Amino acid sequence: MNIRTSILETLQQSNALCDDCLAQVTAVTPRQSINSNCRVMESTELLARTRETCLRCGRVKIVNRLDPRKAIKVDAGAIVVSSSQSNPSDRPWYWEGNVQKRIVELLKSQGCTLHSESDTISRQQGKDIVARADDGRAVWVTVKGFPDKSKNTQARHWFAGALLDLARYRDEDPNASLAMGLPRGFTTYEGLIKRTGAVRQFLGYAVYWVQSDGTVTRDDSPTG
């Protein structure tokens, strides 16, 4: 098995791994071989390389993900690629794209001007929702759904990534109106919001809670 097929098989079992963790799991040396091969596969759209939390070491680093738009498998040492683009309507209500959609609808109904929203299927990078309030303030929202695998562990990683987003946004514009969008009804998220009240008060962000029926409520209390 060559290095690239080993990387792909590993990511099929545990997605979102940094180069260091991939090198450890695959036992590939030197580590730079992992980095160079992942960069090549990124250029051919087999992988996406983004800065977020590695699911193995828990550090915020450049991690490698399989391209969600493709079904990738290794067959007898050969890499087989086919399209796996899914219909958003087939996703559960707590999927990130559905949560984002409901928040966008609310912002528009409140008179905000929408400038951009990320493509959640292709995991487009950047701010999830960029809008402007009627008072001229920038409105930036980072949105997370709830995972279907490794639920509580993955949810904590996603929440940590959302906090990092908001810290970066606050540094970028001290006057921007910041918010985090989350699906309601999951104790992991609700507990994390309550336990990070000091961080929330410092960054000054609101939380948009999206219910299973599509209802969205805005919470400005630091204690959630």
My answer on whether 66 and 30 are in the same domain is yes
If asked whether residues 64 and 96 sit together in one domain, one would say no
Spatial distance between the Cα atoms of 188 and 206, rounded to a whole number of angstroms: 18
Statement to judge: residues 77 and 106 lie in one domain: no
Is 177 domain-assigned?
Answer: yes
Q: What is the pLDDT of residue 82?
A: 58
Question: What pLDDT is recorded for position 1?
Answer: 57
Are 121 and 193 within one domain?
Answer: yes
**Does 67 share its domain with 124?**
no
Whether residue 78 is found in the same domain as residue 96: no
Which pLDDT belongs to residue 149? 77
- pLDDT at position 223 is 59
Domain count, the chain: 2
Residues 78 and 115 in one domain: no
CA dihedral 91, 96, 98, 100 (to 10 degrees): -170
Residue 198 in any domain: the answer is: yes
- Residue 170 in domain: yes
- Specify if 224 maps to a domain: no
**Structural domain range at position 77:** 3-83
* Closest C-alpha to 102, from 137, 129, 133: 129
CATH for 193 = 3.40.1350.10
Which residue, of 83, 98, 117, is where some domain finishes? 83
Residues 70 and 157 in one domain: no
| pTM of the full structure | 0.62
Distance CA 211, CA 118 (A): 21
* Structural domain contains residue 48: yes
Residue 113 and residue 196 in one domain: yes
Q: Dihedral (C-alpha) 86, 91, 94, 96: value to the nearest 10 degrees?
A: 10
137 and 169 Cβ atoms separated by less than 8 Å: no
Residue 78 within any structural domain of the chain: yes
Task: Tell me which amino acid residue 71 is.
Answer: A
- Bridge partners (DSSP) listed for residue 47: 66
Chosen domain end from 57, 83, 109: 83
Residue 67 is part of a domain; what is its CATH number?
1.10.10.10
**Whole-number Å distance between alpha carbons of 192 and 197:** 9
Q: What is the mean pLDDT of each run of 10 residues along the chain (224 residues)?
A: 86 88 93 93 82 88 79 63 56 92 94 82 70 93 90 92 95 96 95 95 96 94 66
CA nearest neighbour of 126 among 204, 39, 51, 206? 51
* pLDDT computed for residue 111 by the predictor: 92
Residue 45 has a pLDDT of 75
Given a contact cutoff of 8 angstroms between Cβ atoms, the answer to whether 110 and 91 are in contact is no
Amino acid, res. 187 = T
Q: 59 in helix, strand or coil? A: coil
57 inside domain: yes
Residues 199 and 101 placed together within one structural domain of the fold = yes
| Residue that finishes a domain, picked among 66, 83, 100 | 83
Residues 48 and 147 in one domain: no
Q: Which residues lie closer than 8 Å to 10 by C-beta, 6 or more apart?
A: 17, 22, 25, 26
Whole-number Å distance between alpha carbons of 75 and 118 = 33
Q: What is the pLDDT of residue 26?
A: 94
- State whether 94 and 79 are in the same domain: no
